[in-house]
Amino acid sequence: MAFHRFRRHVLTLAGAGLLAAGLSPLAEAQSPPPVITGLSNPVALPGSLLTIYGQHFDWSISPPDIQDLVTINGEPVPIQSWSSTAITVMIPQDATSGPVVVTADQGSSNGVPVTIAPRGLAVLDASGRIHTLLGAAHYLGPAPTGDAVAVVSTPDGLGYWVLNRDGSLLTYGDALPLQPRGAVPAPAVGLAITPSGKGGWILSADGSVTPVGNAPALNPGLPGGVAAVAIATSRNHGVAVLAANGTIYGAGTLAGTWSTGISRPVGLAADPNGGFWVLGQDGTVAAVAGAPQLGGLQAVVNATGQTPAAIAPTPDGGGYYVLTADGRVYPFGDAYYPAQVPRGIPARTAAVSLAVVGPYHPYGLINFAYWYPSGTTLNDFLSYETAIGQNLNLISPHWFGVGGNGQVYGPTDIGPVVAQMQAQGLQVVPMFGRSFGDALGPLASPGSQETLVANIVQAVDTYHLNGVNLDFEGLPSGSAGYLDTFVQKLKAALGPQRLLVVDVYPDWVAYRNLSGQLVPGYQDSVYDYGYLSAFADYLVVMAYPMWWNPGPLSSLTHDRGIINYILAGGPNGTPAADPNKVLFGIPGYARIWAGISGAGHEPSTTVPQIENVLSQAGVTPAYDAQAGEYYAHYTVPFSVPPTLNPGDASPAVVALQYALNQLLASPAQYGAASASAPLPAEFPLPLDGQYGPETTQAVYAFQQDWQVTGDTPGVFGSATRQTLASIASAYPQAFASGIPMTTWFENAAANAAHAQLVQQSGLPGVALWSLGEASNRYFSTLASSVDLAANPQLTVRLSRPTLYSGTAQTETVTVTQGSGFPVAGLTVSLGTASGVTDGQGQVSLMVTPAAQGPLPVTVNDPAGQTVATATALVVDPSVNTTAFAGVDRFATAADLALHLYRQASTVVLARGDQFPDALAGAVLAHHLGAPILLTLPDSLPSETLAALYRLGARQVVLLGGPDAISQAVAGTLQNNGFTVTRYAGATRYGTADAIAMAVGAPADHTAVIATGSDFPDALSIAPIAAARGWPLLLATQSTTQPLTTNTLDTLQALGITRVYIIGSPDSVPSALEGVLANLGIQSTRISGQNGFYSTNLAVLQTFAPGLNLTHLFAATGNNFSDALSASPVAAALGTGILLVPGTSGLQSTQSSWLAAQKGRIGVIDIAGGPDAVHPQVALQLSQALN
C-alpha cells in the first residue's frame, strides 16, 4: 500500500501579489530541491519511527500544491509529521534496506541509506534456502544455492553467513566477506564466528578446524577416526567441537574436554554465559559445564517421530531453540514462541541449521491493566497501591465516555489520582471509545473524527495523561478504514511522547481455519492489525471469552492459535501485527452458568467473590491443564440472600433468576394459588446476576401467585425466601437443595500460566481485564512467575544546582517520568518553600537559604508520601562554585561543550566507557579548537547527537580504531551528515603517537609522558599540556622498554628535547629517565608521595604560576570521563583540573592548597553531578577557599 501526504491547492496572498505584478507563481518552483542531511538512526526496525533531517522540505513562500512523499528503497512509507527541516515516518513491516528519498514540489532529494533490521529466526534448509520466522519478515539477500550446512548470524544480528559443504561462505546483510585461510580438507559440517565478527572457524567432518578471517589457528585435538558433528565458540574466542562419540573437545580459551552423556549427538550450542548445550538425536538436550538445564524434545520425538536437526542459543544466554528437520522450531528458557516455517520446507530436503537474527533484547513483560473505578477520588486508587507495588506499568481507567458526534464526557477531579499513579511509575492511558450499537458514530465522518481527536487531546492535555486507550468494539462490517484513518489522525495529534493503545479482538473464522475446528468467538472482526500497529504504540488483543457456553474463558490452546493468527495476518489477508507492539489480553475474572445445561451468555463476577462462594460451598475447584484455567460445579442454596444492588452481579441472584424462570413459566405445576400476576417485559429473565427492575417484577409476580405476605413487594425477604425453600423441598427433582452452577475462572496462578505463554511467544506484554475483578494475588504471583518490565523512574532536575546563602533566588524544579514525560500535581519542597508541579512538571520556588551545605529537595505524591529526592548545594556567594552536570557522563560532556563553545565546526569524539585511546584527546581537541563529546563503543547516545547538532558541527574526529569506536558509530555520524576522520594506532600508545604527530612539533620542544595503564596522571597534565601545545605520550609498565619503538620515533620526529614525566616510579618506571637521557632528552618527574591525588596536586603546584586560576575545574578521580570532557575547556581557559575524591571528602593537602590560593581562584567549575562529586565535597571546595 502506498502512503502519500497530500496538500490542498491554495492560492495565497503572496501568489495573488505575484499575479498582480505580472509574474507567474511558477517562479516559486525555483526553490532549491530537498536535501537530506541525516537520519535519527541509520538502522531501523519495522514498525519504528524514523526522523529525516534536512532542508528545503517545504517551499518557503507558499505551501506545496502537489503530493509530497518519502520513499525507502523506492517504496512510499507512512508519514507521521512534516516540517521544512524534519520529517518523521513509520517504517512498514515489509520495508527493505535502501536509500531514503524525500520528494516535494521542487524535486527529489539525495538518497541516504537506511538499514532495515530483521528480527526473528533464519532457518536454513539443505538446498541453501533461508526461511524467516517470528516477524523477521524479509531476506537479507537472494536465496543462496548449493549444498548448505550451516547459518550463523553476525554479532549485531543484522546479517548472517551461510556455509556450504565445500567450505565456501556466502554473506548477507552486514556480514563481512570472510573466507577460509587455506583449503577445507573434508566436507564442512559446521561454522563458528568470533564475537567480533571478523573471524571464525570451519569444522570439517574429519574433525579438522580451518580458521577464517582473523581467527587464530586452533586444534581441538579430536581422536583419530572420530567424526565431528558441530562447532561453537564463546565470548572469549575459544572454540569447542562436538564429536560423534558425545564428547566436547575445546581449544584456545576453551581448552579441555567434557563428556555429555549423549550417545548420538546432532547439535552444539555455547551458552554465552558459560557452558554448553548438546542436542541428541532422541531430542535430549544435555547441559554441560555449568549451562542451565532448560529441557528437551524427547516427548515430541517419541510422539511424532520428528528428527532434531540443530540447536541455537538466544544471544542473552537465557534459552535456546531446537530445530527439527521438518522446519519446526521449539523454544526453551526465554526463547520466543514456537513456530513452523511458512510455506514449509521443500520436498526432498530438510532443515539443517538456524540462527537468531535482528536486535535481541532480554525483556521484561509489560503489565497493562484495565480499571473500572468506583469514583474519581484518590482513595479509589490508594486501596490498590500496595497490591500493585512496582508490578504494573500501564493502567487504563474507565473515566470517559464518547458521544456520537465526537463529544467526550468525563470527570473534572481526576488530577490528584493521575499524579498519584504517575508518582508510582504508572503510565496513565484512560479508555475512550464506544461499544456495539452505534459504535461507528463519531468515526463515520471526517468532521466528527476531527472533533473527537480535538476533544481527546484536550482531555490528555488538561489532566496530563500519558496517553490514550482507544476501545471501539462491535464496529460494523466494512468499517475498518474509518478506524484506520482515525487512529492515524489521533497518533499524529498525540505526538511521539504520548502513548496510543488500541483494543482489538480476533476474527473467529480465521481461528477456525488455523486450528481445524470451530472455536466460536467474536465474528467479523474489522481490525486491520498491520495498519493499526503501524501507528499505535500498542495493540491489546482481547482474546476472551472464547465462547459463551460453559467452558474456559481463554484456554492456552486458544491463546496459541490467536497469537499465530495475529502475527500471521488479519481478516481478508490484511498485514500481520507488529509483534513488538502486541499486548495479549488475559481474563482476570470468573464466569458463571446456572442450571444443568448452562446454555446462554452468563454473567461474570470477580475472582475473590467466586473463590469465597466455592469456599462456603465446600467445593475445591479443579485445574484444567490444557486450558490453563480452573472450573467447579457447585450448588447455590436459596437460603443465600441475594444482593439488592442493581449494578452488582451476584451468583445468588443468578440462582434466583433461574428458579423464577422455572416457576413463573409453569406456576400451576409448582402449586401456585394463581397465575394472574403480570410477568416482566423481558421473560424469561436474563441470567445476568443483577437484581434490576426485571428481577424485581419477577419477584413481585412470584409473591402474588404464591400469596407471599410479610415482605415488601419485589423484595426477596425472609418470607419470600421461606416460600421458595418450601417449593424446592416439595419438588426435589426440579430444584434439589438449590440451583446447580458451573464456573470457569482464572485465578492468579492461571493468569501467570497465560503470562508465561505470552513471554515465551516474544510478545512484549499482557493486558489484564481487570483491576478489581482479578485475584488479590495477581500482581505478586505474576512478579514471581515472569520477568516484568521496570517502571519508569521519576527524575528531579534543578535549574540551579548551586544556591547562595543569604541571597533570595528562584529555583525551578522539574519532575519527569522515564525519558522525560512531565508529571503534574506533585508537591516539591525546598527548605521552607514548597509548591505543586504544573503541566510541564515544573514549579518555581523562591528561597533564601541561610546555612551553607546540602539543601534537600523532596517530592511528595498527593497522598503525602515522598517519591523522589534531590539535593541543591548552598555556598558562600563570595565564592562562585558552579556545576556542569548532566544525567550521565554523555550529557555532562554535552553540557560542558555547549557552555563554553556554543558553536564548533569540529568535535572530538571519545569512547565514554574506557579511557585508553582518549588520554591524549585533550591535546588534539585544543589544537583543533574543538570540544570533546563521548560515545558508547557500538552506538551513539542521543545526548551526543543532539549536542553535535546544537554545536553546528560538520566534522567529527574519532579517537581510536574500530575496536574502540565501532564502524556502526561512524556510520551513524555519516548518515547524519557529518564528515568522519579517525586518529588511531594499533594500541593506546600508537593512538597517542598519532595524535602527537597530527598536532606537530611544539615551539619549545617539550613533551609530557604519563602511564598508559591508568588515567589520573595523564588527565592531571592534559589541559596544561594542551594549552602549551605539548604532545602527551604514554609509557608502558615495562622496566626494560618503557616506551614503544613508535613512541621513541615520535619523540625524535618532533624534535623533543625536554620531557615532564608525570607520576611516581610505580606508575612510570624509573628506567624511562635513562632511556630519555640516551636520546639526549632532559627529563623532570612530577609526582606526589601518596597516590594519584598527590600527583595531581603536584602538577597544579608546579604549573600554578602560569595558570589562569580565575577558573579552576574540579572532577572526580574515581572515573575518567568528566575530567576528560573538561580538559579542552580547561585548556581553553588556561587553567587546570583538581581531581577530588568523589564521595569521601577532600584530602587535607588539597584543602590547604586551595586555601593558599584564596584570592587567585574566582570560580570552581565542578564537572559532573552529585553522583560524581558529592554535594558535601562541593561544599568543602567552597569552604577551603573561605
Cell of 326: 521438518
pLDDT (0 to 100) of residue 846: 94
Highest mean pLDDT among 396-405, 862-871, 1143-1152: 396-405
Cell of 146: 548449493
- Cis peptide, bond prior to residue 1170, ω within 30 of zero: no
Total H helices, total E strands in the chain: 28, 67
Average pLDDT of the residues of the chain: 83
* Helix (H) or strand (E) segment spanning residue 629: strand 629-636
Judged by average pLDDT, the poorest of 252-256, 536-540, 769-773, 1066-1070 is 252-256
pLDDT (0 to 100) of residue 522: 46
802 has which bridge partners?
A: 873
pLDDT band at 349 (very low <50, low <70, confident <90, very high): low
Each residue's pLDDT tens digit, 616-636: 889 999 999 888 999 999 887
Answer yes or no: are the C-beta atoms of 843 and 836 closer than 8 Å. Answer: yes
* Helix (H) or strand (E) segment spanning residue 892: helix 889-901
Each residue's pLDDT tens digit, 854-890: 889 999 999 999 998 888 878 776 655 677 777 788 9
What is the distance between the alpha carbons of residues 1064 and 1104, in angstroms, rounded to a whole number?
20
pLDDT (0 to 100) of residue 648: 60
Sheet holding 955-959, edge to edge: 932-935, 906-911, 955-959, 979-983
pLDDT (0 to 100) of residue 481: 87
Judged by average pLDDT, the poorest of 1-15, 505-519, 645-659, 884-898 is 1-15
Residue 483 sits at φ, ψ, to 5 deg, of -65, -40
Judged by average pLDDT, the poorest of 79-83, 679-683, 841-845 is 79-83
Q: For every residue of 62-112, which 3-state class applies, written as one string?
A: CCCCCCEEEEECCEECCEEEECCCEEEEECCCCCCCEEEEEEECCEECCCE
Each residue's pLDDT tens digit, 3-30: 222 222 222 222 232 223 333 333 334 5
pLDDT (0 to 100) of residue 707: 95
What is the distance between the alpha carbons of residues 744 and 552, in angstroms, rounded to a whole number?
6
Judged by average pLDDT, the poorest of 568-572, 1007-1011, 1128-1132, 1147-1151 is 568-572
Residues in Cβ contact with 625 at an 8 Å cutoff, skipping those fewer than 6 apart: none
Cell of 570: 488479519
Output DSSP code: residue 955: E
Answer yes or no: are the C-beta atoms of 668 and 705 closer than 8 Å. Answer: no
What is the distance between the alpha carbons of residues 766 and 366, in angstroms, rounded to a whole number?
6
> Does 363 score more than 70 pLDDT?
no
pLDDT (0 to 100) of residue 23: 31
Q: How far apart are the first and last CA of the chain?
A: 71
Is residue 848 exposed (0-12), middle (13-18) or buried (19+ Cβ within 10 Å)? middle
pLDDT (0 to 100) of residue 31: 65
Residues of the chain with CATH 2.60.40.10: 13-116, 794-877
Answer yes or no: are the C-beta atoms of 1126 and 1139 closer than 8 Å. Answer: no
- Cis peptide, bond prior to residue 545, ω within 30 of zero: yes
Q: Which residue has the cell 488455523?
A: 514
Q: For the domain covering 794-877, report its CATH number.
A: 2.60.40.10
pLDDT band at 336 (very low <50, low <70, confident <90, very high): low
Cell of 416: 490528584
What is the distance between the alpha carbons of residues 328 and 305, in angstroms, rounded to a whole number?
13
Task: Give, in degrees to the nearest 5, the angle at Cα 1086 between 1166 and 1149.
Answer: 50
Residues of the chain with CATH 2.130.10.10: 120-357
Share of the chain above pLDDT 90, in %: 38
Share of the chain above pLDDT 70, in %: 86
pLDDT band at 767 (very low <50, low <70, confident <90, very high): very high
Cell of 148: 548448505
- Is the model more confident about 1068 or about 871? 1068
402 has which bridge partners?
A: 408
Average confidence (pLDDT) over 202-217: 90
pLDDT (0 to 100) of residue 507: 62
Judged by average pLDDT, the poorest of 143-147, 316-320, 904-908 is 143-147
- Greatest distance between any 2 Cα atoms in the chain: 128
Q: Please identify, in words, the CATH class of the domain defined by 120-357.
A: mainly beta
pLDDT (0 to 100) of residue 46: 67
Judged by average pLDDT, the poorest of 534-538, 817-821, 824-828 is 817-821
Highest mean pLDDT among 102-116, 552-566, 892-906, 1057-1071: 1057-1071
pLDDT band at 737 (very low <50, low <70, confident <90, very high): low
Average confidence (pLDDT) over 238-256: 88
> Does 311 score more than 90 pLDDT?
yes
- Cα 475 to the center of its chain, rounded Å: 32
pLDDT (0 to 100) of residue 118: 63
pLDDT (0 to 100) of residue 64: 37
pLDDT (0 to 100) of residue 319: 81
Answer yes or no: are the C-beta atoms of 402 and 442 closer than 8 Å. Answer: yes
pLDDT band at 77 (very low <50, low <70, confident <90, very high): confident
pLDDT (0 to 100) of residue 1064: 93
Which residue type is seen at 45?
L
pLDDT (0 to 100) of residue 747: 94
Answer yes or no: are the C-beta atoms of 154 and 173 closer than 8 Å. Answer: yes
Highest mean pLDDT among 254-258, 351-355, 1027-1031: 1027-1031
**Number of residues that make up the chain:** 1186
Average confidence (pLDDT) over 361-380: 80
Q: For the domain covering 366-589, report its CATH number.
A: 3.20.20.80
> Does 1154 score more than 80 pLDDT?
yes
Residues in Cβ contact with 472 at an 8 Å cutoff, skipping those fewer than 6 apart: 433, 434, 435, 439, 440, 443, 483, 503
Answer yes or no: are the C-beta atoms of 314 and 333 closer than 8 Å. Answer: yes
Answer yes or no: are the C-beta atoms of 282 and 301 closer than 8 Å. Answer: yes
How do the residues of the chain divide into helix, strand and coil, expressed in percent and rounded to 5? Answer: 30, 30, 45
pLDDT (0 to 100) of residue 577: 78
1059 has which bridge partners?
A: 1007, 1083
pLDDT (0 to 100) of residue 907: 96
Each residue's pLDDT tens digit, 84-119: 788 878 777 667 778 899 988 778 898 888 877 666
Is residue 805 exposed (0-12), middle (13-18) or buried (19+ Cβ within 10 Å)? middle
Residues 419/423/426/430 CA torsion (nearest 10 deg): 0
Each residue's pLDDT tens digit, 939-968: 898 889 888 988 888 899 999 999 899 998
Q: Selecting from 2.40.50.1040, 2.60.40.10, 2.30.30.60, 1.10.10.10, what CATH number does the domain 13-116 have?
A: 2.60.40.10
Residue 484 sits at φ, ψ, to 5 deg, of -55, -50
320 has which bridge partners?
A: 313, 332
Average confidence (pLDDT) over 694-723: 92
> Does 63 score more than 50 pLDDT?
no
What is the distance between the alpha carbons of residues 363 and 626, in angstroms, rounded to a whole number?
27
pLDDT (0 to 100) of residue 422: 94
> Does 1050 score more than 90 pLDDT?
yes
Cell of 846: 523562591
- Is the model more confident about 247 or about 878? 247
